[in-house]
Amino acid sequence: MQLKRVLTLRTVVATSAGLTMASSSFVAAVMVANYVLGDTAWIAILIGGALCFLAAACFSELNGLLPTAAGIRLYFSRAFNEQVALTVSLLYMLVVVVGVVGVESYILSKVLNEAFPAIPSYAWIVVMLMLVTGMNLRGIKIAGVFQDVITYSLIVFLVLIGLFALGKVGFKLDAPFSPGGAVGIINAVAVGVFLFVGFEWVTPLVEEVTQVKQISKGMMIALGILSVVYAIFTVAMTAVVPKEVLIASPAPQLVFARAVLGDFGASLMIIIILATSLKTFNAGIISVSRFMYASAREHVLPAVFSKISMRYFTPWVAIITLFFIGLVASGLTLLTNQYLVLVGLAAAMSSIVYAMVGLAVISLRRRMPEQVRPYLIKGGYLVPILTVFIFTLLAVAVLSADLSALLYMSIAFVATLVYVNTVVPRLKKKYETRKPAARRRPARATKEVEGK
Contact present, 209 and 34 (Cβ < 8 Å):
no
pTM above 0.85, yes or no: no
Provide the mean pLDDT of the chain. Answer: 83
Query: Is the predicted pLDDT of residue 447 greater than 70, yes or no?
Result: no
Give the model's pLDDT for residue 449: 39
Q: Helix H segments across 298-402?
A: 316-336, 339-367, 382-401
Q: What is the mean pLDDT of residues 41-66?
A: 90
Per-residue pLDDT tens digits for 222-263: 999 999 999 999 999 999 999 889 888 878 888 999 999 998
Per-residue pLDDT tens digits for 44-55: 899 889 999 999
- Comparing 11-15, 94-98, 366-370, which segment has the lowest mean pLDDT? 94-98
Helix (H, G, I), strand (E, B) or coil at 180: coil
More confident residue, 181 or 232: 232
| 95-109, 151-165, 167-181, 394-408, range with greatest mean pLDDT | 151-165
Instruction: Fold for 9-371+406-432, please state it.
Output: Amino acid/polyamine transporter I (1.20.1740)
Q: What is the mean pLDDT of residues 145-153?
A: 84
Give the rounded percent of residues in the chain with a pLDDT score beyond 90.
22
Give the model's pLDDT for residue 4: 61
The confidence band for 448, taking pLDDT boundaries of 50, 70 and 90, is very low
Q: What is the mean pLDDT of residues 401-413?
A: 86
- Angle between helix axes 41-65 and 213-240 (nearest 10 degrees) is 170
Give the model's pLDDT for residue 386: 94
Q: Residues 69, 222, 267, CA angle at the centre, nearest 5°? A: 110
Q: Select from 286, 339, 281 the least CA-distant residue to 102.
A: 339
The confidence band for 203, taking pLDDT boundaries of 50, 70 and 90, is confident
The confidence band for 136, taking pLDDT boundaries of 50, 70 and 90, is confident
Q: Select from 123, 103, 99, 101 the least CA-distant residue to 112.
A: 123
228-232: long-range pairs with CB below 8 Å, 24+:
228/159, 229/21, 229/155, 229/158, 229/159, 229/162, 230/25, 230/29, 230/45, 230/49, 230/195, 231/41, 231/42, 231/45, 231/46, 232/42, 232/158, 232/159, 232/162, 232/163, 232/166
Phi and psi angles of residue 119, each rounded to the nearest 5 degrees, phi first: -100, 125
More confident residue, 387 or 279: 387
Beta bridge partners of 7: 209
Give the model's pLDDT for residue 256: 93
Helix (H, G, I), strand (E, B) or coil at 178: coil
Length of the chain, in residues: 452
Give the model's pLDDT for residue 402: 78
Q: What is the mean pLDDT of residues 103-118?
A: 79
Give the model's pLDDT for residue 444: 45
- Comparing 138-142, 395-399, 408-412, which segment has the lowest mean pLDDT? 138-142
More confident residue, 1 or 211: 211
Phi and psi angles of residue 209, each rounded to the nearest 5 degrees, phi first: -90, 155
- CA 92/CA 251 separation, integer angstroms: 26
Contact present, 137 and 319 (Cβ < 8 Å):
yes
Per-residue pLDDT tens digits for 280-316: 787 778 778 888 888 888 888 888 988 888 777 788 9
Phi and psi angles of residue 7, each rounded to the nearest 5 degrees, phi first: -80, 140
Residue 18 host element (H or E): helix 9-20
Query: Is the predicted pLDDT of residue 215 greater than 80, yes or no?
Result: yes
Query: Is the predicted pLDDT of residue 201 greater than 50, yes or no?
Result: yes
Give the model's pLDDT for residue 429: 84
Q: What is the mean pLDDT of residues 432-452?
A: 52
Sorted by sequence, the CB contacts under 8 Å of residue 362 that are 6+ apart come out as: 381, 384, 385, 388
